[in-house]
Amino acid sequence: MRKHGLITCMLQRSAEGNGLEWLDETINRAQSIHILGAGLNSARPAHQAIHDLDNHGWRLVPIHPLDAGRTILGRVIRREIEDGIIPEIVVFFLAPKRTMEAILTMIVKYNSDQMPLIWLQRGAESDEIVEMLESNNIKHVKDDCIVEYITGNNMNKVPKGENQPWFRQIGDDDGSGCSVWQAFKPLETGSNFTTELEWAGDLEDLAKSHHTIARYIRSLTKLDETLFETAIRLS
């Protein structure tokens, strides 16, 4: 039997089993899990979630605007979910007000077929948020912890996803106004920086993001090279 707390969704529950087959299928089908609020503060549950879900096979995407460009276990922190990226599962370790703002942005950005599973960690939800999700027929989970659900039910992504190289563009520290494009190996921590972060993401982000920098890097790809080779050549 699946271990779980109170699960809420807008899908028809199965007549057999515990009615959570849809949730298992959604998690197993997903390649990536975006975790909002995952920054460098190791005392925060969102940061710990990256550690707890490490080695379970999913591509973990930490999101934290203040810590973007740094890494958690070699996974680069993004400033936001950029245009062009279609998330599959978005986990909210945010206060209800910020959670509401982020979900409203998603409702505007994504059509009904693109809307990810919204996972409200304990403390992120409010009656207003749940009512909004239900009125818009958005799949969601509340009053449950994704770490407890995945680890407690011994879930692993099959086949396990490969860790990806990641990239970063920062301002030069010589005052020239130029930018520095950097490439890092999968799970590499990366050097510290004190200048402005202009963009950060892994190879998948680089391939799909509508951000100006990602689009520019893609435009420099030669006929005989992959996007990865282009990114390495430019670093």
pLDDT at 9 over 50: no
For the question of whether the overall pTM of this predicted structure is more than 0.95, the answer is: no
- Cβ atoms of 184 and 165 within 8 Å: the answer is yes
- Model pLDDT for residues 119-150, shown as the tens digit of each residue: 999 999 999 999 999 999 999 999 899 999 99
Q: Residues 57, 157: contact at Cβ < 8 Å?
A: yes
Give the residue from 163, 169, 193, 164 showing the smallest Cα distance to 182. 169
Please, which residues bridge with residue 183 across strands? 167
Residue 210 buriedness (CB in 10 A; 0-12 / 13-18 / 19+) = exposed
Q: Which domains does the chain have, with CATH numbers?
A: 21-152 (3.40.50.720), 166-234 (no CATH)
pLDDT digits (tens, 9 = 90+) for 18-53: 568 999 999 999 999 999 999 999 999 999 999 999
Helix intervals (H) in 11-126: 21-29, 45-53, 96-109
Tokens of residue 157, six digits: 């992504």
- The tens digit of pLDDT for each residue in 46-80 reads 999 999 999 999 999 999 999 999 999 999 999 99
What confidence category does residue 173 fall into, taking pLDDT thresholds of 50, 70 and 90?
Answer: confident
Q: pLDDT at residue 184 above 60?
A: yes
Q: Kindly tell me if the per-residue pLDDT of 4 is higher than 60.
A: no
- Residue 18 has a pLDDT of 56
| Whether the Cβ atoms of residue 196 and residue 170 lie closer than 8 Å to each other | yes
C-alpha 12/C-alpha 139 separation (Å) is 11
Cis peptide before 159 (omega within 30 of 0): yes
The overall average pLDDT reported for the chain is: 92
- The span from the CA of 16 to the CA of 23, in Å, is 14
